[in-house]
Amino acid sequence: MNMRAALPAKSLSFAIGLLSLGSETLWIRTFSFHNESMAKSVPFILGVYLLGIAFGAARGSRFCKDGADLVAVLGLSLLAGAGTIFLGPVLIAVSVELFADARMLHAIPAFLAAYAFAICFPICHHLGTVVKTGATGKSMSRVYAANIAGSVIGPLFVNFFLLQFATTQLAFALLGLLACLVSLAVLFATARGALKSAGIAATIVALASVTASAGPANWLIGAFREYPVAGIVETRQGIVAAYRQEHGGDAIFGGNVYDGRTNLDPRVNSNKIDRLLVLPALRPQPRRVLEIGLSIGTWNYLITGFSGVEAIDVVEINPGYVELMQNYPAQQRALADARVNLIIGDGRKFLRSRAAAAYDLVVMNTTWHWRAYSALLLSREFLSLVRTRMAPGALLAYNSTGSPDALYTAAAVFPHAYLYDNFVIAADFDWRARLDDAGAIDELRRIRPEGKPLFAPADESLMRYFLSRERTATVEQVAAKAGRRLEIITDRNLLTEYKYGLLLFERWGF
């Protein structure tokens, strides 16, 4: 049989590119989730994947030189890649249970998948290149172009199609099934019955895996916390999970990182809502409020109770929080408040579309400073944009999550920027003086979400503690505690994500 004529090399090259880069997208998503969305996770897994491609392509080249049965090798390599995609998530979930700190193991399936698919690429070139004057370069370039096209379409296919309706584990199963079907088509091009049987068996297993992964149980994501899962929502923007807690409200994790709790009681204060509740005392009667980062909606619920609020714009990039919020009626009712305008999208893009001096209070529910893309909210450029959208006498408040550079950057943009606990509060006036105002406690008493007073008359000592000046700090005090020269965060230097972010192996016990 003329195998060159029997196999469509360009189509196979396209499929290999799609499968390889499509699965890489899922490995990056999964590995980043395992490592709590650290910015360094993406370049690490990318490096591992490139190593797999390099070693696999070298092995495929040797197969071509050794005169092996290339169709069989091609089919089996595709089958091995499919198997790695199927077994990878299983191995990850098992390793989380058995070796919680050995997260390096989670990169091994990505390497093996890249290795298996890369073996196929030189074989496709070998089978698809016509050794003929004037045709060799053209045939080789077409095979290469097909692979590039598949490599471009693969991530788009996964991100904008599969993950629109599938969970991560189901996307793995569907991509693995596709790899099995391609390998089955290749194996049926050879007369060896054993290989055909292997392809058929693998395809049956693949179909079973798709069926199992389509169920409601999300074992891949649910394996990462010791708490009972209260709900998991996956979107292409990320993974949001709620974990049941006996005290202090359910814990919310976005991208496998703590993102808040559902507690609404200032007496419990398990989620430090006191940082938000002092804001009406510092900026009384805020008419227009901007909230960047909805999370589970706890902050939004409390803001709807601030006296004088007429309109609240809430910008959230991940719609998964809105879906998860259905399990929490109080937060869901607050989101349905007629004054609340929810925008699913990017905060910076939204602000650019808004007129200057629009908001009396801006609250940003920022995530941990070392997470990927956190600099986009903490940078001097973004804070400068926010300031142009603040009305005279307005206030900006956001969580520094322990980064001294976050406060230092705010102080470079605003005349007055100080810490309240770990909150950066910035304005064009020294807001600390208002903590001592006689009417500050009255402003806290006026907080009435859903028309119900948040504080009882007996809570005066608690409110005075919330308004304590001792809970504030200046840039100089923060710098002295940091013990180093503070630096300004910019869009380009990604300071908190890389220079002062977590080391990739810091949480692995290395």
Lowest-pLDDT range of 127-136, 328-337, 492-501: 127-136
CB contact at 8 A, 371 and 491: no
DSSP percent split of the chain into helix, strand, coil, nearest 5: 55, 15, 30
Q: In angstroms, what CA-CA distances link 429 with 169, 392, 414, 439?
A: 51, 10, 9, 18
Position 161 pLDDT exceeds 50 = yes
Residue span(s) of the chain under CATH 1.20.1250.20 come to 3-221
- For 426, phi then psi, to 5°, come to -125, 145
CB contact at 8 A, 159 and 149: no
Tens digit of each residue's pLDDT (9 = 90 or more) over 254-281: 988 889 999 999 999 999 999 999 999 9
- For 358, phi then psi, to 5°, come to -95, -25
Position 414 pLDDT exceeds 90 = yes
Tokens of 408: 């230092």
Lowest-pLDDT range of 37-46, 103-112, 289-298, 464-473: 103-112
% the chain with pLDDT above 90: 56
Return all residues near 300 (Cβ < 8 A) that are at least 6 apart: 291, 294, 312, 314, 331, 334, 335, 340
Q: What is the DSSP string of 268-337?
A: T-TT-THHHHTHHHHS-S-SEEEEE--TTSHHHHHHTTSTT--EEEEEES-THHHHHGGG-HHHHHHHT-
What is the C-alpha separation between 303 and 276, in angstroms, rounded?
8
pLDDT grade, residue 333 (50/70/90)? Answer: very high
What is the C-alpha separation between 288 and 339, in angstroms, rounded?
10
Q: What is the DSSP string of 390-437?
A: EEEEEEEEEE-TT-HHHHHHHHHHSSEEEEETTEEEEESS-GGGGGG-
CA–chain centroid gap for 82, Å, is: 25
pLDDT at 223: 57
pLDDT at 38: 85
Tokens of 32: 């980043």
Instruction: Please give the average per-residue pLDDT across 400-413, as a whole number.
Output: 95
List b or e across 398-437, with b for residues whose CB sees 16 or more CB atoms inside 10 angstroms: bbbbebbbbbbbbbebbeebbbbebbbbbbebebeebbee
Tens digit of each residue's pLDDT (9 = 90 or more) over 62-93: 988 887 788 888 888 998 998 888 887 777 77
Tens digit of each residue's pLDDT (9 = 90 or more) over 113-133: 999 999 998 888 788 765 444
- Tell me the angle at which helices 70-98 and 41-66 cross, rounded to the nearest 10 degrees: 150
pLDDT at 198: 74
Position 152 pLDDT exceeds 60 = yes
Instruction: Please give the average per-residue pLDDT across 482-492, as a whole number.
Output: 94
Residue span(s) of the chain under CATH 3.40.50.150 come to 266-501
pLDDT grade, residue 34 (50/70/90)? Answer: confident
pLDDT at 156: 94
DSSP annotation of 355 reads P
Lowest-pLDDT range of 12-16, 130-134, 224-228, 277-281: 130-134
How many residues in total does the chain contain? 510
pLDDT at 47: 92
Instruction: Please give the average per-residue pLDDT across 322-328, as a whole number.
Output: 94
Residue whose C-alpha is closest to residue 374's, from 494, 280, 198: 494
pLDDT at 107: 82
pLDDT at 5: 41
CB contact at 8 A, 247 and 271: no
What is the C-alpha separation between 276 and 280, in angstroms, rounded?
8
Mean pLDDT score of the chain, rounded to an integer?
Answer: 87
Position 204 pLDDT exceeds 90 = no
- For 414, phi then psi, to 5°, come to -110, 145
Instruction: Please give the average per-residue pLDDT across 187-198, as a whole number.
Output: 72
Instruction: Please give the average per-residue pLDDT across 466-483, as a whole number.
Output: 94
Judged by DSSP in three states, 468 sits in coil
pLDDT at 1: 37
Return all residues near 132 (Cβ < 8 A) that are at least 6 apart: none
Domain 3-221 listed as CATH 1.10.540.10: no
What is the C-alpha separation between 219 and 336, in angstroms, rounded?
32
More confident residue, 129 or 435: 435
Instruction: Please give the average per-residue pLDDT across 238-263, as a whole number.
Output: 91
What is the C-alpha separation between 218 and 224, in angstroms, rounded?
11
Position 4 pLDDT exceeds 60 = no
* 229: enclosing H helix or E strand: strand 229-235
% the chain with pLDDT above 70: 90
Instruction: Please give the average per-residue pLDDT across 469-476, as a whole number.
Output: 94
Which strand ranges, in their side-by-side order, compose the sheet holding 340-344?
A: 340-344, 311-316, 288-292, 359-364, 390-399, 423-427, 416-420, 472-473
pLDDT grade, residue 327 (50/70/90)? Answer: very high
pLDDT at 39: 84
Instruction: Please give the average per-residue pLDDT across 216-230, as a whole number.
Output: 71
Q: Could you count the other beta carbons within 10 Å of the beta carbon of residue 354?
A: 14
CATH number given to 266-501: 3.40.50.150
pLDDT at 134: 52
